Amino acid sequence: MVAFIEDSVYTGVNKKWTYAEVLNRTGRLATILKEKFDVKTGDTVVIYMPMIIESAFAMLACARLGATHSVVFGGFAAKELANRIDDCKPKLIITASCGIEPNKHIKYTPIVDEALTHCVKIQDAGNTPRLIVQRHELDGKLFQEGLDESIYFDYEKLMADCDVVADAVPVKATHPLYILYTSGTTGEPKGITRETGGCMVGLNFCMAHVFNVHKGTVHFATSDIGWVVGHSFIVYGPLIRGAQCVFFEGKPVTPDPGVIWDRVQRYKVSSLYMAPTGVRVIKKEDYEGEYIKKYDTSSIHGFLLVGERCDPDTIFWIRRHFPHVFINDTWWQTETGWPITGNLINTDEWGKVFPTLPGSVTKAVPGYDVRVYSESNE
C-alpha cells in the first residue's frame, strides 16, 4: 500500500513509496543515527531540509529511536537557523546539499556552517556532525574541496552500507516527539514541544473527522515540513490513518496555475489542504479558472484551508470553481498542533456538516472550549 507520493516540479522526481519501503528506509536510517552518531532516546536532532522525501525519513527515524527532532524551515537564513540550533543543542544536524527555488539553487551546507559560527551556547559548535543528503541530479559531487570528512557525512553512502532495520524504542506517551519553533514575529522564537501519545491521538481524530481521511485516501497538503502543517498533515497524520500523502516540492503557480490541479487529477486527490495565501496566488493568475477546466478535479471531497483567516472573496472563488466540495476553513496554530475549530466533514460518523459561512471557522472540535468575549469580558 502506498504511503507517500513523492513529486518534485523542479527535478521531475515522481515516485510512490509503500509503507513497507518507508519502514525499511526509516529503520535503516535509525540504525545509522544510533550506531554512527550515537543518537539515542532523549537526544535532539536538527533537520534543515528542502521538501524531499529523505526529510520525512529523518523525522520518522528520530521518532523510532525516541530522539526528539527539531525541523527548521529550509527557507530560513543562517541566523534564524543558529537561534534554533543554539536553543535545542542537537547531537546531529541532518541537511541536504541544496534546496530549490524557481530559477535558482540554494546551497545548504554553507548556511549550516555559518549558523554554527553564530551559536554561543554550544561549546565547539563547529564540530557538530552533519549528515548530508546529496541531490545528485542537481549539483554533482558532495565532498567539494575543503570539506572535512570527519564532520560531513554522505547520507547515500551510509544508507548503502546499512541493511539493518532498527527496532522501535518504546517511549512514554508524554515523551517529546518534536520541538518546532514559532516564527518569532512576536519576539524570540518559542520552541513548542509536542508529546508523542497526545499528538498521535489528536491527529488520528482530526484526520478522520475534520479531514475525512481514511485508509487509502489520497491527501495533499501543499505546505512544507518546516511548518506545523507539514509535521501534522504531511508526515504523521496521514501515516497514522493508513492514507496516501502527496509529498510535493513546488509552488502553486510554477510552472503555471494548473500545477496543483494537475496533481489532483494525476493522483485522484480526495482531501486538499492549502493556505488561503496559496489559493489567492492561483486566483490572481487564473481568476476565471481556465486552468482548472483543463483537469478533472472531481475526486476532491474536502477543500481545507489553514494558516490565516480566509477572506470571503477567496471562499466565493473556491465555491464557484469547485461547487462539489466541502470547504473547511480550520483555525489553529503551531502551539496546538491540530485544529481548534473546523467542520466535521466525516458524514458517515456525524451525519451532516455545518454550512460554510465566509469569515467563519465553524465550531470548536472536541477537546477545545472556545468562547467569544466582548471588550468588557462579557
- Stretch(es) of the chain classified as CATH 3.40.50.12780: 196-364
Q: Where are the alpha helices (DSSP H) in 242-311?
A: 259-267, 276-285
- Stretch(es) of the chain classified as CATH 3.40.50.980: 18-171
This prediction has a pTM of 0.94
Diameter of the chain measured on Cα atoms:
67
> What's the sign of the alpha-carbon dihedral 98, 240, 199, 44?
negative
Rounded CA separation 95/295 (Å)? 36
Q: What is the CATH number of domain 196-364?
A: 3.40.50.12780
Which residues lie below 8 Å from residue 345, measured CB to CB, with a gap of 6+? Answer: 209, 210, 211, 212, 301, 302, 326, 328, 353
Q: Is 354 exposed, middle or buried (0-12, 13-18, 19+ CB in 10 A)?
A: middle
Which residues lie below 8 Å from residue 206, measured CB to CB, with a gap of 6+? Answer: 232, 237, 338, 339, 365
Residue-wise burial string across 66-103, b where 16 or more C-beta atoms lie within 10 A, e elsewhere: bbbbbbbbbebebebbbbbbbbbbbbbbbbbbbbbeee
* 3 state DSSP class of 372: coil
Class of domain 18-171: alpha beta
Within the chain, how many helices (H) and strands (E) appear?
A: 13, 18
For the chain, 378 residues long, give each residue's pLDDT as a single digit of tens.
999 999 999 999 999 999 999 999 999 999 999 999 999 999 999 999 999 999 999 999 999 999 999 999 999 999 999 999 999 999 999 999 889 888 888 889 999 999 999 999 998 999 999 999 988 766 555 545 567 888 999 999 999 999 999 999 999 999 999 999 987 666 677 899 999 999 999 999 999 999 999 999 999 999 999 999 999 999 999 999 999 999 999 999 999 999 999 999 999 999 999 999 999 999 999 999 999 999 999 999 999 999 888 999 999 999 999 999 999 999 999 999 999 999 888 888 888 788 888 888 888 998 899 988 999 987
Rounded CA separation 21/27 (Å)? 10
